Amino acid sequence: MTERNNTVVVGVDGSAGAEEAVRWAARLASGRALDLELVHGLQIAAFCYGGGFPGSDVLFEQLRQEGDGIVAKARELALSVDSALTVRTDVLTDTATPALLDRSRHVRMIVLGRTGTGGFTGMLVGATAAAVASHAACPVAVVRGRHGDGSVPVDGSVVVGVDGTPNSEAAVAVAFEEAAFRGVGLVAIHAWNDVTYDSVEGTARLMPQPEVLEPTEKRLLAQRLAGWQEKYPDVEVRREVVRDRPRHALLAESDTAQLVVVGCRGRGGFAGMLLGSTSQALIHHASCPVIVVRPEAKQ
């Protein structure tokens, strides 16, 4: 397993969402004696497609100055949370995605805002978000507020989705660590629903009645949590087994939580689909920050 350094990396672009991400990451770094690195991508290639053009040097210098200003402001914001923080900055000439993925092999966490402008245009609506959350070798936090653009919550439980796959095993590990650090309870949700198939005659149910399966699902959840409850005896755990789609249950719980932790892909995902529907739904619609975890991130 890759040995990780004591750095939290934040993608910054001058947007309000990125500023919230910096504050959230600074509080996390401060509480755990971690370093902070602020990364901004200029995306010069987007302005020079097909080669250079007259005045490109002037444009580059202008973008560079804007980038320097963005990371300088983000650094001031981080230090306003804790003036003793070690904060490094990096302004890249292209999209920040490859650099973030490269850093993910060694850092503790990557933190992104709820929206993207400038160097992170389309962060949560296209391939960039999928690339970072799907391929990063460390946990990826997307900092969201209440109803998307409201204040980022600092109270409430940590919530984790549990389905028994390696993805959720890694998520459970991170969730217990986060709950212990924050001194709050953990809500472990195991959501299940009928598996159905569609035919010309309609939709047919393939699974037995819910009352037959529910005891088995409760035992599965208890087994997945047992070892972690022993490791973190001070974390109070509330178990929830619900007959619903995971994203519905987790989104509902995010309304009162301060953090939701999920694996990058659940047991219902297709081979090759690196970011499942549940994690996709949460990074777009949750009412609190979301951490997406790949199995490689398990400590």
Domains defined for the chain, CATH in brackets: 7-143 (3.40.50.12370), 158-297 (3.40.50.12370)
Using the CB atoms, write b or e for 107-135: b if 16+ within 10 Å: bbbbbbbbbbebbbbebbeeebbbbbbbb
Query: Which residue's entry shows tokens 């047991």?
Result: 267
Over the stretch 226-244, which tens digit does the pLDDT of each residue have?
A: 899 999 999 999 999 988 8
* Angstrom distance (rounded) from CA 26 to CA 78: 5
Phi then psi dihedrals of residue 209, to 5 deg: -65, 150
Residue 205 has pLDDT above 90, yes or no: no
Mean pLDDT of 253-268: 84
* Angstrom distance (rounded) from CA 194 to CA 184: 33
Residue 41 has pLDDT above 80, yes or no: yes
Output the pLDDT for position 149.
65
Over the stretch 98-148, which tens digit does the pLDDT of each residue have?
A: 889 999 999 999 999 876 544 444 444 335 556 787 789 999 999 999 876
Output the pLDDT for position 50.
52
Output the pLDDT for position 37.
97
Output the pLDDT for position 3.
72
* Angstrom distance (rounded) from CA 278 to CA 254: 13
Output the pLDDT for position 265.
66
* Angstrom distance (rounded) from CA 113 to CA 74: 12
Output the pTM of the full model: 0.84
* Radius of gyration of the chain from its Cα atoms, rounded to whole angstroms: 20
Helix or strand or coil: residue 260?
strand
Mean pLDDT lowest for which of 14-28, 36-50, 190-204?
190-204
Of all residues in the chain, the percent with pLDDT exceeding 90 is 47
Output the pLDDT for position 119.
43
Count of other CB atoms within 10 angstroms of residue 198: 8
Residue 68 has pLDDT above 70, yes or no: yes
Output the pLDDT for position 45.
58
Output the pLDDT for position 116.
53
pLDDT band, residue 269 (cuts 50/70/90): very low
Write out the two tokens for 288: 């609190």
Residue 195 has pLDDT above 60, yes or no: no
Output the pLDDT for position 218.
86
* Angstrom distance (rounded) from CA 73 to CA 149: 21
Output the pLDDT for position 230.
92
